[in-house]
Structure 1
């Protein structure tokens, strides 16, 4: 008998069907990956299994056989007896999944108390053991800390510690590494693998990252529009996908692609950065976030700054775009005027398409705003320019009358790019501009950026922690660690013959990377 068998699961939101007859199974000790884009129903399916659907969702039909019990008919009170003890959950967002006013130790201990442990000394000992087990240094200190005092990777380890506290037979991991740097992602996935090997725990891995699924799962379940469109052993699905949708997902996954390196053309530099330093005051001592950074970007090419969180890449990008002032050093951008007119020449595209657009404005007003700010054209000319920009970023003209909340994440990022192009800049600084997007939408945005660069001669400074994406789009790369550049060169050179140990570590962490 399978550990988990799901038959004909149906879920709706406010009466609208969202999951249409999904069936899947998980055997003891195996990893089953459920993959698909946002809106495919994969997270809804996972949450329905343990009764954690939002209040406007209903489980309309289906059987959820866990062992000999059908969880589909259970009340929330009965489900609480299973959650944590027999089924553990590792949620997607560690920032929002931990209580900010409780210490880490108290939150892990709560799992033990809810399931009957009352001895405070035993709880404390178990909490410290769990923190050590998930690889957190100095468990006694970590147990006393609050979530905001930990990094994203540390918070995710805390969630894993809570999920395995009672050694459940199944862990549901819902996008457990989507917000993490590539090296931290590898450590978290290695940890889950180690725990699975030690405890014999099965894992239902929900992810949109085909690279992660390819390297970590025994079987794949591919979902689209609330339905399972393909399933099978991971190796078989990757080698010979049967459905067009699965083939598209695989083609769009940067870590699984075999695209050639972009050729690096010669020419004059558009951006010259020399000995850039940025210090912040932390207590009585200055903290040097950027330490002597230098690089050049050839006009019409893409230069990537890569590194983990805290490496200084975003701070460097903000100084290039003049949203931060260097402590010392220089940034020269060819042809860029001083003062307010600089913003016409250099534009910044942010990571989060949900937070970078004014929710009160229409899409047309958002794109038109730079034109109004710089006094470019009369009203009819500005409207014509908005229509042209929407067409250029492959969005229908009728979206001009809508507001950001009515658009998908990929559509919003296209709007952000259209707004950045409105005043006809020559340089775009793209700060993790595709990291929040599904693999297929990400591929569409990357293709759009490549086309715009060819058509308009744009120069990009591309900030990313995702080396698979960097390999695809950038002509040259600088690798940053602890505020310094440790390696720089053409993308081909850096990926094919890395010279620095840190670069090798980053490259080794790319899931199922092409060698």
Structure 2
């Protein structure tokens, strides 16, 4: 008998069908990865299994069998005895999944108290054991800390500790590493693998990251529009996909694709961006903290230069100084052809990471894209309206989106709007700060393709900030690797990726997920 068997599951939100008759199994000790784009139904399926669907969701049919018991028929109160004890959950966002006003020890101990697993002393001992087991140093100190005092990777380890506290037979991991740097991601996935091997726990891994699914799962379940397109042993699906949609996902996944390197073109007259000995210090108490320490690089006109590194490496602070959102403590940034003040803003534009937070939800798309034209007094009303339509065409958006608001668009469409707005005033330099990290692989591939096309057509220069080396390999001509505020290695992307010289670069490259053989 399978540990988990989902049969013909159907789920709706406010009467709109989100999952349509899906069936899958998870065997004891097995890792099953459910993959697909946003809206495919993968998270809905996982939440239905653990009984955490929102209030506007209904299970319209099917069975969820855990060891023979049909959880689909259980009321919410009865499901409380299953959550934690038999099914653990590792949620996606460690920043939003922990209570900011409770200590780490209190939050881990809560699941033990709810299920009456010992007195106060026994629970405290178990909490410290769990913190040690998930690899957090000094468990006594960590138990007294609050979530904001821990890094993203440490918070994710806390969520894992909560998920394994009662040694469940099945763990559901819902995008457990999507917000983490590649090296932290590898450590978290290694930890989950180790814990699973120790206890024989099965894992249902929900992810849009094909690289992670390919490297960590025994079987793949591919979902699209609430249905299963394909499922089978991971190696078989990767080597011989049967569904066209699966082929497209595999083709678009940067970690799995064999896209050629983008060798730099012949250099034009002078660099577009010149950064010399850049230093940025922040005052933390009495001691200054040097976030950027002597950074120098050049970006040739019409090329893409990537700054890569983990969170805290200084790459985003460097980017903010390039676009003059931060003043350097010392050093210089020069943008060829850019003047001062408003003239600089016309020539250098920033595309943010989050397409959901960078657009005004109250404005129509036409007004958002037109705003730079109004600010710089470019053209009359009719000319601006025509420019907006041209920009929508340029970023492959239908013209009828101009009357919509951001909330009516997908994440990929919103990022296209952000790029159209950045292009409106005719800049020569775009700084892209993790501009595709929040997107599904197929949408990500579309945006990367769009950026390459715009660069060819308009001669744009990009400074591309990312922690995703698979994406950097695909989009950039040259790269600088940052660690603790300094550049530890730089060169063409081909040189850095094929013959890394620094141990830190080698560690980053080794953390890129590789498919199972």
TM-score normalised to structure 1 length: 0.99
Equivalent position SS for 2:251: helix
Aligned to 1:33: 33
Q: Deviations over 1:62-99 (max 9, x none)?
A: 10010021101111111110100110000001111111
Aligned to 2:84: 84
Please give the per-residue CA displacement for 1:272-310, whole angstroms capped at 9, x wherever unaligned.
Answer: 000000000001111000000000000000000000000
- Output the CA distance in 2 between the equivalents of 1:464 and 1:346: 19
Give the drift of 1:459: 0.1
1:217-267 superposed Cα distances (whole Å, 9 cap, x missing partner):
000000000000100000000000010000000000000000110011232
Give the superposed CA RMSD: 0.8
Structure 1, unmatched stretches of 5+, are none
Q: 1 CA distance for matches of 2:68 and 2:385?
A: 63
Distance 1:389 1:487 in 2: 37
Q: Distance in 2 between matches of 1:141 and 1:440?
A: 43
1:356 aligns with 2:390: no
Superimposed CA distance per residue, residues 140-168 of structure 1 (whole angstroms, 9 cap, x where no aligned partner) = 11100111111111110000000000111
User: Aligned partners of 1:152, 1:76: CA distance in 2, in Å?
Assistant: 31
Describe the SS at the equivalent of 1:480: strand
- 1:126 — aligned with what? 126
The 5-angstrom pairing of residues 246-285 of structure 1 reads 246-267=246-267, 268-285=270-287
Q: Are the aligned partners of 1:468 and 1:513 in contact in 2 as well (CA < 8 Å)?
A: no
Q: Do structure 1's residue 320 and structure 2's residue 299 form an aligned pair?
A: no
User: Contact conserved, 2:214 with 2:515, CA < 8 A, in 1?
Assistant: no
Q: Within 1, Cα distance between the matches of 2:480 and 2:515?
A: 19
Match of 1:474 among 473, 476, 480: 476
| 1:366 corresponds to 2:368 | yes
- Partner residue, 1:311: 313
1:406 and 2:388 aligned:
no
Q: 1:265 to 1:513 in 2, by over 3 A?
A: farther
Give 1:147's aligned residue.
147
Report matched runs for 1:87-166 at 5 Å.
87-166=87-166
CA distance in 1, matches of 2:34, 2:372: 42
Which residue of 1 is the match for residue 62 of structure 2? Answer: 62
Q: What is the aligned partner in structure 2 of residue 2 from structure 1?
A: 2
Structure 1 residues 380-459: aligned runs within 5 Å: 380-459=382-461
Q: Which whole-Å CA distance do the structure 2 matches of 1:422 and 1:57 have between them?
A: 41
Aligned mate of 2:297, from 295, 298, 315? 295
**Distance verdict in 2 for CA 1:325–1:513, change over 3 Å:** farther
Normalised to the residue count of structure 2, the TM-score between the two structures is 0.99
Select the residue among 333, 340, 343 that pairs with 1:341.
343
Q: Separation in 2 of the partners of 1:476 and 1:122?
A: 55
How many residues of Structure 1 are paired with residues of Structure 2 in the alignment? 514
- Secondary structure, in 3 states, of the residue corresponding to 1:347? strand
Q: For 1:308, what is the secondary structure of its paired residue?
A: coil
Which secondary structure state, in structure 1, belongs to the residue aligned with residue 288 of structure 2?
strand
Which 4+ runs in 1 deviate beyond 6 A?
Answer: none
Match of 1:201 in 2: 201
How far, CA to CA, are the matches of 1:13 and 1:72 in structure 2? Answer: 16
Partner of 1:502: 504
Secondary structure in structure 1 of the residue aligned to 2:283: strand
Match of 2:255, SS state, is helix
- Whole-angstrom distance in 1 between the partners of 2:475 and 2:341: 31
Shift of 1:513: 7.5
Give me the whole-angstrom Cα distance separating, in 2, the residues matched to 1:110 and 1:242: 45
